[in-house]
Amino acid sequence: MKYLWDSALGLLVVTGGLLGLTLPFGKLATAAGVPAMVWAFVISLGAGGVLLGVLLARGQRIRLTPHKLRYFFVTAAVSYAVPNLLMFSAIPHLGAGYTGIMFTLSPVITLVFSILLGVRRPNLLGVSGIAVGFVGAVMVAVTRGEAGQPADLFWVMMGLLIPVSLAAGNIYRTIDWPEGTGPIELAVGSHLASAAMLLVGILTLLGGKAFVQLGAVPLIVLAQMASASAMFAFFFRLQAVGGPVYLSQIGYVAAAVGLFAGTIFLGEHYQLLTWVGAVIITAGVFITTKAQSQKA
């Protein structure tokens, strides 16, 4: 476990894999009638609540400061509430696999933001790895998802906002990370802030009845909460170990996991080109991992 906690590759695989499970869970939940905003709330409340229990069990406390409060709420908005709301709204229209493809665009956008802001400039091998992964993402995207049916342009545009929001969050969390604060404390604070923001939105726009449909998928709710809490504990550690550009590679892993999960558990079918693209995406991840061991 200690090796995993210090391994960028290990953290990448675990975090991306757990993120990928969010796609089929979200598809099952929205198919059962759970509103997208409610499912996003379930993830943030589950992750924040479980990790808060872990923090308290260790005898630790969250010491609030103006800096931390700003970090919690900005991170909550750009990294969790907005992209999750977009993702779960888009899944019924684009499909779990196609929506997962949007995650693979996050590294490219993160790299652009990182270079423009001077946060971290990856070396040539790192850029090559991202480029290879992006080529694989394009190959997957041109298949247009399951059954090759053209997606509605509006929802494609909404889906494209997912990686933009994620990339902005990747950069922000690095440049404004509160000094001396651990990853679990940051995960707890930002997710509870996200849950609070989403709860206000739900009660204002949908009303309390919006939670009724959660009773139709109790096991999926529990599974989503468990995977989300585990994912975000590793997520913030990966941010500290690998940096924002490397962290963004979880989108490649999540997309691949989403394709496999959709095929095995949801009966989705994809073209050969989609699977070839997934293999190329994996190669891009390993190239970028190799670049992490070299001085930028």
Q: What is the pLDDT along the chain (296 residues), one digit of tens a residue?
A: 556 777 888 888 899 889 888 999 998 999 999 999 999 999 999 989 988 988 898 888 888 899 999 999 999 999 999 999 999 998 887 778 778 878 877 877 877 787 777 766 667 887 888 888 888 878 877 776 665 666 677 887 888 899 899 989 988 988 898 988 888 888 899 999 999 999 999 999 999 899 999 999 999 999 998 898 888 778 878 878 887 777 777 877 888 888 788 778 877 777 788 788 878 877 887 787 677 666 54
Owning domain of residue 168: 2-292
CB of 114 closer than 8 Å to CB of 107 = no
User: Tokens at residue 289, please?
Assistant: 């991992």
Total number of domains in the chain: 1
- pLDDT given at position 197: 96
Q: How many CB atoms lie within 10 A of CB 176?
A: 12
Q: What are phi and psi of 163, to 5 degrees?
A: -65, -30
CB of 220 closer than 8 Å to CB of 29 = yes
- pLDDT given at position 38: 96
Residue 156 buriedness (CB in 10 A; 0-12 / 13-18 / 19+): middle
- pLDDT given at position 3: 62
In Å, what is the CA distance from 138 to each residue of 10, 135, 191, 225? 26, 5, 32, 31
